[in-house]
Homo-oligomer: A and B are copies of this chain.
């Protein structure tokens, strides 16, 4: 059997209360008994049960992390930084893949509560904020990452998507492009809408007109992006540049364009978003808008833990700024 606090107490010739105090460094105990207890704990390799202490009202030092899909490099890198930071702060993180599915989300949330996690990071709650409201009502610390919920009082960290879109297009227009396609997803979320706004703004500032036909939607998959790019080009439309919603789609677009006979970047400049591993590894290396993924993960974790520890701290919304990373897929258009 695993040793309990009673075992320690007995062998050390003290009461369990005393042992508890040395474990938690609370109350007053003489240095002598403290050492004695410590020694015994060491000897019998005693590990205090988190379960038992959680039952008495203490925290579980666990946070739940809801993400759409850990296999997606963007989310994986995020998860990595959340886990790292969480661990530094003494928390373990349980991951939950929601696939953006509301039922799964709700199910996980309930499950996490039953496990008494101390707080929850929502990496995907785009569609339904009822869920978050519930969380707030139950007074469970929560924090959003890369999800905007303007009407809610929750800690959140996001990236300035408008600026990201603006930066991407400004880079392109400064190179001389004016006919720029936007390879979006379903355009149903704030992120995309903001980037689109940035796109339009930059276009306008460059004196170029916005052409509705340059707006491509797809289901966020590599293959779909590839297909729709190919189709676009084969249909005769021929923008000189593409701005994709993320690196994966950008690379899909590149593949599609190549299949349609174009050369990258000679015939088509391409810019992505996220700056994941994919962008660096692509050939030619992909110009992209970098999200500060590390910082985002770190920051939400800090925010959440602060709320867990501090009780009623002021909620904040941290907006991180994206950054243009110029690599080799964007050049001036060939006339």
| Interface residues in chain A, defined as those with a beta carbon under 8 Å from any beta carbon in chain B | 2, 47-52, 54-55, 60, 62, 69-71, 73, 76-77, 79-80, 83-84, 87, 92-97, 110-116, 138, 222, 248, 251, 254-255, 258, 277-278, 280-283
Contact at A77–B71, with CB atoms within 8 Å?
A: yes
Contact indicator A222/B281 (Cβ below 8 Å): yes
Task: Return the chain B residue nearest A112 by Cβ.
Answer: B92
State whether B116 touches A50 (Cβ < 8 A). Answer: yes
Copies of this chain, whole number: 2
18 contacts between A and B (CB under 8 A): A2-B138, A47-B113, A49-B116, A50-B116, A51-B54, A70-B70, A70-B79, A70-B80, A71-B80, A76-B76, A83-B97, A87-B96, A92-B112, A94-B94, A222-B280, A278-B281, A282-B282, A282-B283
The interface residues of chain A, by DSSP majority, are classed as helix
A110 CA / B2 CA spacing, docked (Å): 13
Contacts A94-B93, A116-B50 given; does A258 touch B283 at CB 8 Å: yes
Contacts of A79 in B (CB 8 A): 70-71, 95
Known: A70-B76, A222-B281, A254-B283. A47 touches B114 (CB 8 A): yes
**Which residues of chain B are near A49, meaning CB under 8 Å?**
55, 114, 116
